[in-house]
Amino acid sequence: MLLVNQWAIHHDPNLWTDPERFNPERFVLLEGTRDGFKLMPFGSGRRGCPGEGLAVRMIGLTLGLLIQCFDWERLSDNMIDMKEGLGVTIPKAEPLVAMCKPRLEMQDVFAQL
């Protein structure tokens, strides 16, 4: 069995400038194997995730709907801590606590559900 340490690849200072800083824009133009395996959130090759195409399309749609339909605000004035916690899925060390309210335009739509 071969396990690839994707965390180490995504935090390699030889591949990324300032790898410990939260900067999702660094991945915008990367496309997995075509970029020398710098970004591999879904694995690669025969063992790659079969749902990658669906996931890539759905995350944009879902995020867009959440932004379009709700007003978001933090519950505290503290800056968001982006430090990583322990675990296989690398959760945030401090959970993000936020409150959402339906936008005025969406209240009628939600009332019909």
Largest CA distance in the chain: 53
Tokens of 102: 């339906």
pLDDT at 33 over 70: no
pLDDT at 61 over 70: yes
Q: Provide the whole-model pTM.
A: 0.59
SS (H, E, C) 22-59: CCHHHHCCCCHHHHCCCCCCCCCHHHCCCCHHHHHHHH
What ranges do the domains of the chain cover?
1-50
Residue 35's pLDDT is 55
Q: What is the mean pLDDT of residues 21-43?
A: 69
